[in-house]
Amino acid sequence: MKYTLAAFALAFALTAHGEPWSTEDRQREAAYTVAHLADWFYALDAARHPERGHETNPILGRRPSTGSVNNYFAATLAGHIALTALLPAAYRPIWQTASTAVEIYYTHRGAMLTLGIAY
């Protein structure tokens, strides 16, 4: 948990040092965060109810603990914010749009597995 808090502190500190964020940058980051939180929810559901399905993230493994899920998703969210803050403003839209699309794909996949729909 202390590493997760440190990652968030670093991420938010970095946002003050890069180029200023535009309104569109903040909106794209909010969209990524919403998709990331939904994916987090489905991963936690898989960890809490293994009879409904399993986790497909190779980093977490098929049967992660809820602690592992929470640490992974908190750290990757903080990392995304930090990396976005470090990128030049011209590259942020590409990074944010691509990563949001990937996150939406995996969130959809997690939802289908949780609901028992073949994917």
- Check if the beta carbon of residue 50 is closer than 8 Å to that of residue 119: no
pLDDT of the chain, 119 residues: tens digit per residue: 565 566 556 655 555 567 899 999 999 999 999 999 999 998 898 899 888 777 888 899 888 999 999 999 999 999 999 999 999 999 999 999 999 999 999 888 877 876 666 55
What pLDDT, on the 0 to 100 scale, is given for residue 10?
60
Domain that holds residue 6: 2-114
In a domain, 73, yes or no: yes
Count of domains in the chain? 1
Distance CA 37, CA 20 (A): 25
In a domain, 88, yes or no: yes
In a domain, 108, yes or no: yes
The pTM of this model reads 0.83
In a domain, 119, yes or no: no
